[in-house]
Amino acid sequence: MLWRASSIKGFEIHGSDGQIGAVTDLLFDDKTWTTKWLTVHTGPWLFGHTVLLQVSILGKPDHDARQVFVRLTRQQVKDSPHAATDLPVSQSIEAGVSRYDEELPFWQSEASSRGLRPEGTTIFMPHIGLDADPLFQAGSAALVPAAPVDATLRSVTDVTGYHIAGTDGAIGHVEDLLFDDGDWRIRYLIVDTKDWLPGLRVVVPPQSIREISWAMRAIYLNVDREKIKSSPLYDSEMTVDGDYSSRVDAHFGLTPVGGAPPC
């Protein structure tokens, strides 16, 4: 099932021995558009720290109870690296956190190749320059860089509000992101077109992105405004199921990697 990324903010995180905190943001890889970490505010039991939890150690979100369970104890969370809130986070820092969680870094895993591709093209991989690392405080052990510095993580909160433009003009702005709660992959950007087509919302797959200017907070698509105008409309009250996803993917000329049907 696909859910708005903003809807998971505030979900309680529960470890094997009690509540850990609440979700404050999602961090995704800006090359593969797969969520890799949740930022979690721990509350008073851990002096209000914000910690990073890999999605690979999370259970499936319970949207009715607004909870997510994690395969960690509170002590393990207490000993984990605490994150500063400025982004992006470099792979060198991430490698250290991955070793703490005893998980492979994302870029060495099979999950890094998941996704859809437009027919006749490759998966979109935006050019990102080197950005400054945030400050981290080590918990039980110092982090040892194990990969080249290559900032790839972005915050859902930060990307919300980015301007969207087609090949022939402005379209709107990013209202939210839709992610699959099965594999945490970001499937679509929800675009509010009120400055161009008042009252309408559409979804755009990341594979339709031509370029991103992180400095200008702008996203440029490889399709024109007519393509966006004729795409299946999105309603915040609707359930985004396989039928809607299939219609959107077909409209933008996407086929599943390996020929599998869209989820």
Give dist(CA 225, CA 218) in Å, integer.
16
The span from the CA of 4 to the CA of 178, in Å, is 5
pLDDT at 58 over 60: yes
Q: Please check whether residue 184 is in contact with residue 263, taking contact to mean a CB–CB distance below 8 angstroms.
A: no
User: In this structure, what are the phi and psi dihedrals at residue 96, rounded to the nearest 5 degrees?
Assistant: -65, -40
Task: For residues 103 and 71, give the distance between their C-alpha atoms in angstroms, rounded to a whole number.
Answer: 12
| Radius of gyration in angstroms for the set of CA atoms belonging to the chain, rounded to a whole number | 19
Cite the DSSP H helix spans in 10-165: 74-79, 91-100, 156-159
Distance CA 192, CA 4 (A): 14
Residue 161, sorted as left (phi over 0), alpha (psi -120 to 50) or beta, turns out to be left
- Count the Cβ atoms, other than its own, within 10 Å of residue 252: 22
- Per-residue pLDDT reduced to its tens digit, 141-192: 333 333 333 467 889 999 999 999 999 999 999 999 999 988 999 999 999 9
Q: Among the CATH numbers 3.90.50.10, 3.40.50.10470, 3.20.20.100, 2.30.110.10, which is that of 157-259?
A: 3.90.50.10
Residue 81: pLDDT band by 50, 70, 90 thresholds? low
Locate the domains of the chain by residue range: 2-155, 157-259
99: confidence class by pLDDT, cuts 50, 70, 90: very low
Q: Which helix (DSSP H) or strand (DSSP E) does residue 250 occupy?
A: helix 242-251
The class that CATH gives domain 2-155 is mainly beta
**pLDDT digits 0-9 by tens, 113-137:** 333 333 333 233 333 332 333 322 3
Asked if 219 and 173 count as a contact pair (C-beta separation under 8 A), the reply is no
15 token code pair: 């470890």
d(CA 118, CA 189): 16
